[in-house]
């Protein structure tokens, strides 16, 4: 369990070459609001934190302090990833459970944000269910605590990490990309790689759009050829498609769309088959909820299920996999997947495909705690490289080791 100093030094040198000072005292909402250097800083710090932990070096930079989590949707992996990230840095997680709180009794966002933040260093929020709401809510919270800090109410300003909103899922896609970078042996090897971000059939409805949107908004920045595939009627947010196009133009990659899963998979280096709900339907649902029209919601859900059922052939089968680059594209999923014959009768992926990729899939997920920790870290230290160097020198053990 000794620190791999060569690896550590190499990563640190990399980090020093990146311009990331604007991340200090700042939030992380959408990947496309960050510069390339800033994203690289997240991956590099994530790798450094992991290297230190593997070397049994503590990266506890907080002696006390809270990490507040607010999940407005069920979650296992993101919840535990956030908890792990906070713990790694020395923050104790406090979950704002809206059921147990007085929020229902008329507290405003501004008030609640300040009331929970007296000793909070970071706030992580998942709010992905309603179009136009989640990201806006996060901004409202961030503005509130910034004002609270400016007014002298909060001694420190808690920075915000978007744990999934209606637009993007940056901790997921940044972890996905960290996995890809490692898999292909470096960011420099990604140019020209073909990525198929495709819709896939699921017997459930209403899955958020943040993953496909986040993927096309991020992967197009690395010179990859990103294909977005879905049946007609499953469009994602137009604004994010514009982001993807602009990214591709800048990075020397491409962003194309197709209504054929086969076309997307052909010669792909990476496939990401996953169900989502049509953007238009999600907008409609948001409106119905807003009006308290529950009959309308139920009708919409039935309609969505019927619509999904017309596309059961959109599944990541062995046959489709065999058409990818050497039949060996890297299969990605944010998990949990709907696996045909395992978690449902017919779903997003064949059981044999999923089984073959289990270890890489779990590794993909394993980057998330480090990516979140890196986002927090970069928002807390003006000179992250210097701090990481001093942490290595401090040499505090994560687990007690015999002298």
Q: Site map for a second copy, 229-258, x if CB under 8 A?
A: ------------------------------
In the complex with a second copy, the residue whose CB is nearer, 108 or 310, is 108
In the complex with a second copy, the residue whose CB is nearer, 63 or 295, is 63
Cα distance between residue 55 and residue 60, in whole Å: 14
| CA triple 26-29-33, angle to 5 deg | 85
Question: How far apart are CB 136 and a second copy at their closest, in Å?
Answer: 19
Cα distance between residue 190 and residue 225, in whole Å: 9
Contact 375, 28 (CB under 8 A): yes
Question: How far apart are CB 66 and a second copy at their closest, in Å?
Answer: 6
Contact 315, 346 (CB under 8 A): yes
Q: Which of 9, 13, 17, 118 binds a second copy (CB under 8 A)?
A: 118
Q: φ, ψ for residue 160 (rounded to 5)?
A: -110, 135
Judged by CB under 8 A, the chain residues 77 through 116 that form the site for a second copy are 77, 79-81, 83-84, 87-88, 90, 92-94, 96, 100-108, 110-112, 114-116
> Which residue shows structure tokens 């052909």?
266
Query: Token pair of 403, please?
Result: 């002298």
Question: How far apart are CB 242 and a second copy at their closest, in Å?
Answer: 31
Judged by CB under 8 A, the chain residues 372 through 391 that form the site for a second copy are 380-381, 383, 386-387, 390-391
In the complex with a second copy, the residue whose CB is nearer, 94 or 323, is 94
Q: Which of 8, 11, 137, 148 binds a second copy (CB under 8 A)?
A: 148
Contact 213, 244 (CB under 8 A): no
In the complex with a second copy, the residue whose CB is nearer, 238 or 400, is 400
Cα distance between residue 248 and residue 143, in whole Å: 32
Question: How far apart are CB 221 and a second copy at their closest, in Å?
Answer: 26
| CA triple 22-28-32, angle to 5 deg | 85
Q: Is 328 exposed, middle or buried (0-12, 13-18, 19+ CB in 10 A)?
A: exposed
Strands 66-71 and 270-274: unpaired
Closest-CA residue to 112 (of 164, 120, 166): 120
3-state secondary structure of 160: strand
Contact 19, 35 (CB under 8 A): yes
In the complex with a second copy, the residue whose CB is nearer, 262 or 351, is 351
How many CA atoms, within 13 angstroms, populate the side-chain half-sphere of residue 394? 16
Judged by CB under 8 A, the chain residues 348 through 367 that form the site for a second copy are 358-359, 362-363, 365-366
399 belongs to the binding site for a second copy (CB under 8 A): yes
305 belongs to the binding site for a second copy (CB under 8 A): no
Question: How far apart are CB 326 and a second copy at their closest, in Å?
Answer: 22
Q: φ, ψ for residue 349 (rounded to 5)?
A: -155, 145
Q: Site map for a second copy, 150-179, x if CB under 8 A?
A: -xxxxx------------------------
Q: Site map for a second copy, 307-346, x if CB under 8 A?
A: ----------------------------xx-xx--xxx--
In the complex with a second copy, the residue whose CB is nearer, 122 or 196, is 122
Judged by CB under 8 A, the chain residues 168 through 227 that form the site for a second copy are 204
Q: Which of 61, 125, 141, 216 binds a second copy (CB under 8 A)?
A: 61
């Amino acid at each position: 369990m000794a620190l791999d100093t060569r690896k550590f030094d190499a990563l640190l040198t990399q980090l020093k070459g990146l311009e990331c000072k604007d991340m200090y005292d700042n939030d992380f909402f959408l990947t496309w609001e960050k510069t390339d250097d800033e994203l690289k800083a997240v991956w590099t710090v994530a790798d450094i934190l992991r290297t230190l932990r593997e070397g049994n070096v503590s990266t506890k930079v907080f002696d006390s302090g809270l990490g507040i989590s607010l999940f407005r949707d069920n979650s296992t992996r993101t919840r535990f990833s956030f908890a792990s990230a906070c713990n790694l840095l020395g923050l104790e997680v406090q979950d704002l459970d809206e059921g147990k709180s007085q929020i229902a009794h008329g507290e405003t966002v501004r008030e609640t944000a300040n009331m929970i933040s007296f000793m909070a260093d970071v706030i992580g929020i998942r709010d992905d269910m309603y179009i136009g709401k989640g990201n806006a809510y996060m901004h409202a919270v961030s503005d509130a605590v910034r004002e609270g800090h400016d007014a002298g109410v909060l001694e420190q300003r808690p920075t915000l990490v978007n744990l999934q909103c209606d637009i993007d899922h940056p901790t997921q896609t940044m972890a996905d990309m960290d996995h890809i970078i490692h898999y292909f042996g470096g960011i420099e090897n990604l140019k020209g790689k073909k990525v198929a971000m495709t819709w896939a059939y699921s017997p459930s409805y209403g899955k958020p759009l943040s993953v496909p949107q986040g993927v096309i908004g991020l992967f197009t920045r690395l010179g990859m050829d990103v294909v977005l595939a879905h049946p007609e009627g499953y469009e994602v947010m137009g604004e994010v498609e514009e982001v993807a196009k602009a990214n591709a133009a800048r990075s020397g990659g491409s962003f194309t769309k197709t209504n054929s899963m086969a076309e997307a998979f052909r010669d792909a280096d990476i496939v990401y088959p996953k169900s989502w709900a049509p953007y238009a339907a999600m907008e409609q649902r948001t409106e119905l909820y807003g009006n308290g029209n529950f009959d309308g919601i139920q009708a919409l859900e039935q309609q969505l299920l019927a619509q999904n059922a017309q596309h059961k052939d959109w599944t990541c089968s062995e046959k489709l996999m065999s058409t990818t680059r050497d039949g060996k594209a890297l299969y990605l999923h944010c998990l949990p997947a709907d696996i045909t014959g395992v978690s449902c009768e017919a779903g997003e992926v064949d059981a044999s495909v999923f089984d073959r990729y289990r270890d890489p899939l779990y590794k993909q997920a394993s980057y998330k705690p480090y990516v979140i920790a890196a986002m927090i870290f970069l928002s807390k230290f003006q000179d992250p490289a210097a701090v990481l160097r001093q942490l290595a020198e401090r040499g505090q053990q994560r687990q007690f080791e015999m002298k």
